Structure 1
Amino acid sequence: MDSWDTTLDGVLQLPSGRLVRGRSLRRPLPSGLQPTFALYLLGHQPPSVAWENRWIRWPDFWLPTDRVKAADALHEAWVRAEVERVEIACTGGKGRTGTALACLAVLDGVPQHLAVDYVRLHYSPRAVETPWQRRFVTRFLID
């Protein structure tokens, strides 16, 4: 299976080499390859898409409403990213998406206290928008 192009905007390469695309649902779907699996982080049901996906109920600027289900979905995305094109998306593509990407970085071996900085360096300087999103990442896999 073809992988994401690492030169495209929004593609994060984790230390293991796994690639995950983060994006804003406000913007049109990028041209080129489509995801084979996606996580949509929204306070409401996402629109229908042609690829397999999971929805995490996650209100804007906040945290997932069910942290156990969110952790399970993030773990699934991390596992699938080894061999599939995985996309993580929310409305703006920064706060919730950045938080989820930082959690994937933790799953990939980045220490919790460094994961937000990793995602801000390799994905977007504006990733992870609130103090509680940052705390969610630093406590991910501990709670």
Structure 2
Amino acid sequence: MNDTWDPTSPGVLRLPSGRLVRGRGLRRALPPGTEPTLGVYLLGHEPPTTPWEARWLRWPDFRLPSDHDQARALLAEVWERAETERVELACGGGRGRTGTALACLAVLDGVPADRAVRYVREHYDARAVETPWQKRYVRRFPVERSYGRADSR
């Protein structure tokens, strides 16, 4: 089954592999159209319930994930599932934490870590990844084969 996002929908980022992931801010209304299959919510508090599968990654505003191992594992799952499912990443505003997570997905997808923030700013939001420590987190984001990196493209 391949039921991914429409690439022209608001907030949808196309990774170099072709995987599509939607980023959005939870303070804005849910975009019209198809709902996600999986939502990953990057918040300092538990997110509201959704009619679709949802995961919460504790990630306070303007900070980094509280549990780096959980973040790596969850982002690896997002990357894997985005190949065939509609996955969204969201925080309050949809730029800092969401942009950081999207940049980490770009690293998992093969974008060099030192170029991932630029990639997300060019293809998702020009103000994505808001703080110096979020940029550093992306540059240091580990890529291991166990996370399913597409090295054989």
For 1:62-141, what aligned pairs fall within 5 Å after superposition?
62-141=63-142
Deviation of the 1:53 alpha carbon: 1.3
Deviation of the 1:2 alpha carbon: 3.3
* RMSD across aligned positions (CA): 1.2
Query: Which residue does the alignment assign to 1:22?
Result: 23
- Aligned equivalents of 1:58 and 1:105: distance in 2? 19
Paired residue type of 1:66: D
User: Where in structure 1 do 4 or more consecutive aligned residues deviate above 3 Å?
Assistant: none
Deviations along 1:21-69, one digit per CA (max 9) or x if unpaired, are: 0000001111100000111000000000011111000000000000000
- 2:14–2:20 CA contact under 8 A, matched in 1: yes
Taking structure 1 as the reference length, the TM-score comes to: 0.97
Query: Which residue does the alignment assign to 1:39?
Result: 40
**1:54 aligned counterpart, secondary structure:** strand
**% identical equivalent positions:** 67
Structure 1, unmatched stretches of 5+, are: none
Deviation of the 1:9 alpha carbon: 1.7
Deviations along 1:89-108, one digit per CA (max 9) or x if unpaired, are: 00000000000000000000
Structure 2, unmatched stretches of 5+, are: 144-153
